[in-house]
A and B are shown apart, each in its own frame.
Chain A
Amino acid sequence: MLNADRIIGFFSLAFGGVIFAVTRDLSQLGGVFVNYVLIAIFFLAAIMIVKGFTKPERLRFFDSMVERNNILIGLIILFIYLFFMPKVGFLPASYIFYACFNIYLAEDRWTTKNIIQSVAISAIVVTFFFLIFHFFLAVPLPIGSWFE
């Protein structure tokens, strides 16, 4: 069980500390508001830490190992997608991401039917939105640095 108050309190102190360190060279007009907010953050963080020691709120972050693994894998798939999109281009990255995510979330992951279905849906949805954004809305989607 996690002590949520202590985590929030110490994280806030660290966050406030970093902001304090990088905003010392601001002018008076540019820094006055930042300084007031930092005072509030340090004060509220101190309250959270005190609460964490006196009347802590204990929480379970993940309900189960399965949930933790699902979230981590989901985030890793998304991270890889975002990482490779500027390199391989929007269309190839999106086709692969969409199909992989579909396959991952399905119950019968590795059946031929599911794979074909996922690839087909990926092709339709991604192409549909690509056409709208690229041609209708004129958004310059990443082409892919590897192919430039």
Chain B
Amino acid sequence: MCHATEGGLSLEGVDLDKEAVIQGVVTRGDTPVGGAYVRLLDRTGEFTAEVPTSATGHFRFFAGPGQWTLRTLAPKSEPVDRAVVATIGEIAEVQIAV
């Protein structure tokens, strides 16, 4: 099974048919923001997980299927919330501008 990804973190060794992936990149203007923090909040707004972005601004969660909110905290920026829907066997790509 071939899934297109938009670069970023490797998905080697991950069985994507079983995962509901949410991933993306945090940017400021045209520049990726490394060391930002992306929080995964469930449909009630409750914290579920948090990851720092890579040097290239990328992040990824293996979420459950359903509605989620990504809250991004970055230096010198206000928090940014983005709604996203995750589905098993698919990759939800999210571009976040801070």
A in complex with B: no
Which residues does A use to contact B, with CB under 8 Å? none
Which residues does B use to contact A, with CB under 8 Å? none
